[in-house]
Amino acid sequence: MNFLEERILKDGIVKPGSVLKVDSFLNHQMDIALIDQIGKEFYRRFADKPVTKVLTIESSGIAIACSVAREFGVPMVFAKKSKSVNIDGEAYVAEVESFVQKKKNLVIVSKKFLRADDHVLIVDDFLANGCALQGLISLVEAAEATVEGLGIAIEKGFQDGGYRMRNLGYQLESIAIIESMDEKTGEITFR
């Protein structure tokens, strides 16, 4: 069992609706030493890639993305949730359905911060159905930049995002892959 799986077993709480609550170390209170360990692990797994930028989505991916970007020595960019489609055309826009809130958000990245010659490592805290990753990939594609890989802290393997992303040919690296979780007993198993 790796460091993140151990922490999930210790402090993760299984909620109804296939939601894992990790707000004591990742999503609300943050264990920075753990997040730095996650950053180092992604660096190790993608060290052969010519990464020029780390991209995530606000807000819960930001801390992890900072840590990964520090390891690579490159900037971190986060897609911002936006209330309106950008009118001046200065940003790339994607629609992302939130897994937890079940609502659609527009997310934007300024065209200044994603360029055609960028090699982008996309990271996020969770992977469920893959909507967030799909939105981030479409922002990179709109910029005609290159997706170098996808780094996920916690993949819920019983939802189909991971399957879809690997099928599309991306290198997807998840530090913890949950095989099953039981909201009645709280039991969590890993792949």
Footprint of ligand 5GP (CB under 6 A):
19-20, 22, 27, 57, 60, 99-100, 124-132, 156, 161
3-state secondary structure (DSSP) of residue 116: coil
Residue 86 near residue 78, CB atoms below 8 Å: no
Q: Closest approach of Cβ 124 to ligand 5GP, in Å?
A: 5
3-state secondary structure (DSSP) of residue 92: strand
Q: Closest approach of Cβ 87 to ligand 5GP, in Å?
A: 26
Q: Closest approach of Cβ 74 to ligand 5GP, in Å?
A: 21
- State which residue, 8 or 51, has the beta carbon closest to ligand 5GP: 8
- State which residue, 24 or 111, has the beta carbon closest to ligand 5GP: 24
Tokens for 128, please give them. 């469920």
Instruction: Give dist(CA 105, CA 108) in Å, integer.
Output: 10
Q: Closest approach of Cβ 35 to ligand 5GP, in Å?
A: 14
Instruction: Give dist(CA 140, CA 168) in Å, integer.
Output: 15
Strands annotated E in 58-118: 76-82, 91-97, 104-110
- State which residue, 111 or 173, has the beta carbon closest to ligand 5GP: 173
